[in-house]
Structures are given as C-alpha cells and as structure tokens.
Amino acid sequence: MSIRLTPEQIERYSRQIMIPDLGGRGQIRLRRGKVLIIGSGGLGCPAAFYLTAAGIGTLGLVDGDRVELSNLQRQILHSTMDVGREKVASAKEKLNRLNPEVEICNYPVRFDEKNAAEIAAPYDFIIDGSDNFATKFLVNDIAVSLGKPFSHAGIVRLQGQTMTVIPHQSACYRCLFKEPPAPGEILNCQQAGILGAIAGTIGSIQATEAIKYFAGMEEELLVDRLLTYDAKAMKFRIVDVKKNPRCGACGGKTLNSLIV
C-alpha cells in the first residue's frame, strides 16, 4: 500500500523534505515510524518535541512521575501551571498542540523489569531519556533482547554523552560498561545538577538519530562510537567503542539477566 503526502503535510514538512538525504520518501517512512521514549524529563522532552515536529508516526511516552517545580528549568514540555500533573499527560497535551497527526501513547508508569518487554514490543526505536543507571541498563538489555535499535544518553552538570545501538550489529551499552556503578559511586542529576541546555543538546541528538534511522540514513548512525560533550570546554569528542564478544547482554544468544 502506498502512502502519499497531503498538500498540508508537504507544506508542514517542506523544509526537511527538501533535504536530499530525507526527501518525500524519507518523510513517508518517518510517518510509519514508532518511537518509545523512556522518561518525559530533560532528555525526553526535547527528543519528543523534535520527533513530533518532524512528523513521526507514533510516540510512546513512559514516565511515572508528576511535574515538579524543579523540573521546569530543563523539561521544556512542562509549564508552571503543570506542576502536580502527570508528566506524560502534560507532555501529550503540548505535543498534540504542536502536531495533531502524531499518535501519542502514554504509559504513566515506571519502566521496570516487569513491564519493559510488553511496553517496548510494538515500537521500532527506543530513546533512553532515563535518569538512573538501573533503568539505562534495563533499556539496553530489553532493547538487545527484543532486537530494537535504541539511543542511549546520559547527562550531568555541564557534560553529556550519547551512543546509538543496533543490537547484535554494533556495540551495546553493556559492551561499554559491564554493570551499573555501585549506588552513590557516580552522582546523578538530582545530586550533582544539570544545565537545561545540555539536556536539550543531547536530547536533540537522540531525536536526530531516530529520524535518521527511519528516513533512510540508517547507515550513518552514531554506532560503535560514544559522543561526549563537554560544555565547559565546549568540546565534542568521539570515543570508539568495540562490540564485546563476551558482553553479558549482546555477546551470547540469550540475555543472561536483567538488572533490576
């Protein structure tokens, strides 16, 4: 079945359709794409915003938290009047306003080892916008076990990092870091702080990777490379990452264990 773009869609997406690497064909492929975003916070908000603006077909939003005043400095889908509301409900309202033709599916729950596989199953690409190591490892392990491509990211203070994973083809997060650090070993954003614009930069890169994956640029993803961003020195660096044949997640045929 062929899908055609309507005149309204051609106008809405004209500035990206004119990019030769994307084109009308890429736009149609994007329209069929389903992306699951773990976390509607600092990374999830910009990622969801740009994917919705770009015309992704379906977005799933997973977050069990409610909006707090201290979120608003970086979680750009939420406003002052949203404090106390479910984050996914607040996010969906803004995203629908921006682009009503994107289907938004809300999961107002914490992404955990019990619900992860069921929530992730219908999606083609996962964006990890979580704020803790246990969830980052869980996203990795579920995505690898289901064979779903995903974008990893982490941010703290004035630094960020991101890497895209194509399971069983490229290095996964567990190839890079075997297991989560001991509690308290590495500070998270809540303990150490984060500049909102850093989350915006890294979340936008995650959205870009998802768009590239669907729109025909999947050969040029950020795979086997960790991109690090040091905003204080204003330097981006690439660290080559090798697939580990003994990796606990992607090294064998089956997943050894899920981190809880």
How many Cα atoms sit within 13 Å of 205 on the Cβ side? 22
Of the candidates 172, 189, 211, 227, which one interacts with Zn ion according to CB under 5 A?
A: 172
174 binds Zn ion (CB under 5 A): yes
Please, which residue, 37 or 175, has the CB nearer to Zn ion?
175
| 3-class SS string, the chain | CCCCCCHHHHHHCHHHHCCCCCHHHHHHHHHCCEEEEECCCCCHHHHHHHHHHHCCCEEEEECCCECCHHHCCCCCCCCHHHCCCEHHHHHHHHHHHHCCCCEEEEECCCCCCCCHHHHHCCCCEEEECCCCHHHHHHHHHHHHHHCCCEEEEEEEECEEEEEEECCCCCCCHHHHCCCCCCCCCCCCHHHHCECHHHHHHHHHHHHHHHHHHHHCCHHHCCCCEEEEEECCCCEEEEEECCCCCCCCCCCCCCCCCCCC
- Cα–Cα dist 128/92, whole Å: 18
175 binds Zn ion (CB under 5 A): yes
The footprint of Zn ion on this chain (CB under 5 A) covers a number of residues equal to 6
CB of 147 to Zn ion, least distance (A): 13
Which residue has the CB atom at the shortest distance from Zn ion? 247
CB of 177 to Zn ion, least distance (A): 10
CB of 228 to Zn ion, least distance (A): 19
142 binds Zn ion (CB under 5 A): no
Site stretch for Zn ion (CB under 5 A), options 55-63, 164-172, 220-228, 234-242: 164-172
CB of 244 to Zn ion, least distance (A): 6
Q: Which residues from 237-256 bind Zn ion, rule CB under 5 A?
A: 247, 249-250
215 binds Zn ion (CB under 5 A): no
152 binds Zn ion (CB under 5 A): no
CB of 168 to Zn ion, least distance (A): 9
CB of 39 to Zn ion, least distance (A): 22
Site residues (CB under 5 A) for Zn ion?
172, 174-175, 247, 249-250
